[in-house]
Amino acid sequence: MDDNTKKILREIPKIDEVLLFLKKDAVSNAFSKDLVVTTCREVVDKIRRSIIVAGEKGKQLPSAITVEGAAVEVKERLMQLRSYKLRRVINATGIILHTNLGRAPLCDEALERVVEVSRGYSNLEFDLVEGKRGLRYDHVKETLCSVSGAEDALIVNNNAAAVLLALNTLSEDRESIVSRGELIEIGGEFRIPEVMEKSGAILREVGTTNRTHLEDYEDAIGNETGLIMKVHTSNFRITGFTEEVELSQLVALGRREGIPVMDDLGSGCFIDLGRFGFDREPTVQEVLQTGVDVVTFSGDKLLGGPQAGIIMGKREIIGRIKKNPLNRALRIDKLTLAALEATMQHYLNPDDALSNIKALRSLTEPLKEIEGRAKKLLGLLNRASIEGLTFSLKEGKSMAGGGSLPTQEIPTVLLSVKTLNLSTNRAEERLRGVDVPIITRISEDELLFDLRTIGEDDFSFIESGLKIIAHQDVC
Ligand SMILES: *Cc1c(COP(=O)(O)O)cnc(C)c1O
């Protein structure tokens, strides 16, 4: 180590000096002493390391290190701890159930119920009539069953947990028969064969990727069979020369052989979206009408509620699932239950659900309305005349996301932003860094904002976000 490096190392402020400097500072006084001391130590250590590294590499050394400079960095680090990391963002991607952006936004009533139920105590597991212990999912069970016609229901942490729990209960150490065309991966490590293995069920694949026949299931049934399972292929479609067995046929087969039949619906929907131009898919009610023993689906996909896994079906089977000790490990919490209960209330009347559940509203909103909103935003931004940015509207396609309705492109209107002094990539990155981050997509050198997932209450944030990125120094 050369003399110059040694000299500068000696000039590094002592931790006590930095602490003394911060003693009357409002920011550092808002944190525990231990945390301030630790942070001072980290900052001083960092300064020391950077000097040593710079000295070794023969780089320019800092001329002087002041106590004040170190204190400023300590304060910055402390303030960073105070800032929220999980934050609201604006979803301009047009993917309605964007898994990375928290899937379904909650309806207003769900938010109110979360606050109401969790501010103080609740009857989460207390039967108010009997005055003794109750079941947490019973609060939502009645609505779920009334809307769907199921005999019984329980709710767990998410649909992955629902599938795991149902498989473990019904098929541990026994074979679950699944078509090769349904051995899917959803993303985020959910793969049917792997979940099955973790559940203790033994996967019995039948048929081929594109075609599976009833005889394939029949031939696979034996003494080891625990379950016949159908899986919604969610995020992909097999088209062309294909054949799958209808759920009703599997239910009849299961009935004949005394084997339970389960359908993992993934994104269960209570409302027929066919009249909004989507390919028709059976609703949860219609699936249950086949007499299937168990269905599972997510709370935060097309249902439009909080993250949850809903398990519904025959009383005897649901009863067994409830008693499984694994259920305790996968259980749903009170905030989620409160939000789910409020979401489910809307389904007592489908029109009410369509207008109040945000994901359904986004999915079914007429193009005319989106166009109107787009023109409003365009007018607002043009009036703001932000230097270096030009705006226009164009047609585009939104997506349902969340593994729902994968092949269906939903017409939408896009705001296209062209950046004159800034690369599109840079602009996209900077929009992620503003106070209320804006998540956009890039196509052919323009920044696209999909108005299907943007509401009028997002406009002021978009305007200020664009102003900020346009005025940040150009580099
Ligand atoms: C999405 C999905 C899951 C996983 O549900 P999560 O709620 O994300 O845990 C399981 N099965 C299918 C068919 C799905 O589409």
Domain identity same for 295 and 433:
no
Ligand 1 shell residues, CB under 6 Å: 158-160, 163, 186, 190, 231-232, 234, 264, 266-267, 298, 309, 403
* Residue 419 CA, ligand 1 centroid: distance in Å: 39
Domain identity same for 213 and 322:
yes
Domain identity same for 32 and 127:
no
Mutate to test the pocket of ligand 1, among 186, 199, 234 (most ligand atoms within 8 A of CB): 186
Domain identity same for 317 and 339:
yes
Contact assessment for residue 76 and residue 68, using Cβ atoms and an 8 Å cutoff: no
User: Is the pTM above the cut of 0.85?
Assistant: yes
Domain identity same for 149 and 281:
yes
Last residue of a domain, one of 340, 356, 372: 356
Domain identity same for 372 and 339:
no
How far is the C-alpha of 388 from the C-alpha of 367, rounded, in Å? 30
Residue 56: predicted pLDDT: 87
CA distances from 418 to 98, 306, 466, 470 (A): 25, 36, 11, 11
Atom nearest to 298 CA in ligand 1: 7
Domain identity same for 175 and 314:
yes
- CATH number for 339: 3.40.640.10
* Residue 236 CA, ligand 1 centroid: distance in Å: 13
* Residue 297 CA, ligand 1 centroid: distance in Å: 7
Domain identity same for 243 and 262:
yes
Ligand 1 atom 2: residue of nearest CA: 266
* Residue 159 CA, ligand 1 centroid: distance in Å: 5
Atom nearest to 232 CA in ligand 1: 13
How far is the C-alpha of 332 from the C-alpha of 305, rounded, in Å? 13
Mutate to test the pocket of ligand 1, among 190, 287, 311, 404 (most ligand atoms within 8 A of CB): 190
Of 452, 271, 454, the closest CA to residue 367 belongs to 452
* Residue 471 CA, ligand 1 centroid: distance in Å: 43
Atom nearest to 403 CA in ligand 1: 15
Ligand 1 atom 3: residue of nearest CA: 266
Ligand 1 atom 7: residue of nearest CA: 159
* Residue 259 CA, ligand 1 centroid: distance in Å: 24
SS (H, E, C) the chain: CCHHHHHHHHHCCCHHHHHHHHCCCHHHHCCCHHHHHHHHHHHHHHHHHHHHHHHHCCCCCCCCCCHHHHHHHHHHHHHHHHCCCCCCCEECCCEEECHHHCCCCCCHHHHHHHHHHHHCCCCCCEECCCCEECCCCHHHHHHHHHHHCCCEEEEECCHHHHHHHHHHHHHECCEEEEEHHHCCEEECCEEHHHHHHHHCEEEEEECCCCECCHHHHHHHCCCCEEEEEEECCCCCCCCCCCECCCHHHHHHHHHHHCCCEEEEEECCCCCCHHHHCCCCCCCHHHHHHCCCCEEEEECCCCCCCCCCEEEEECHHHHHHHHHCCHHHHCECCHHHHHHHHHHHHHCCCHHHHHHHCHHHHHHHCCHHHHHHHHHHHHHHHHHHCCCCEEEEEEEEEEEEECCECCCCCEEEEEEEEEECCCCHHHHHHHHCCCCCCEECEEECCEEEEEHHHCCHHHHHHHHHHHHHHHHCCCC
> How many other C-beta atoms lie within 10 A of the C-beta of residue 151?
16
Atom nearest to 267 CA in ligand 1: 15
Please give the residue range of the domain that contains residue 422. 90-97+363-474
Mutate to test the pocket of ligand 1, among 99, 234, 298 (most ligand atoms within 8 A of CB): 298
* Residue 296 CA, ligand 1 centroid: distance in Å: 9
Residue 475: predicted pLDDT: 45
How far is the C-alpha of 271 from the C-alpha of 302, rounded, in Å? 9
Last residue of a domain, one of 323, 356, 389: 356
Total domains, the chain = 3
Atom nearest to 188 CA in ligand 1: 8
Contact assessment for residue 202 and residue 167, using Cβ atoms and an 8 Å cutoff: no
Atom nearest to 402 CA in ligand 1: 1
Ligand 1 atom 11: residue of nearest CA: 266
Q: Which residues of the chain have a pLDDT value below 50?
A: 475
Domain identity same for 181 and 306:
yes
Last residue of a domain, one of 322, 340, 356: 356
Ligand 1 atom 5: residue of nearest CA: 159
Residue 473: predicted pLDDT: 59
* Residue 235 CA, ligand 1 centroid: distance in Å: 10
* Residue 298 CA, ligand 1 centroid: distance in Å: 6
Domain identity same for 349 and 368:
no
* Residue 299 CA, ligand 1 centroid: distance in Å: 10
CA distances from 383 to 191, 391, 446, 449 (A): 50, 11, 20, 18
Domain identity same for 53 and 125:
no
* Residue 96 CA, ligand 1 centroid: distance in Å: 16
* Residue 305 CA, ligand 1 centroid: distance in Å: 14
Domain identity same for 317 and 458:
no
- CATH number for 428: 3.90.1150.110
Residue 187: predicted pLDDT: 75
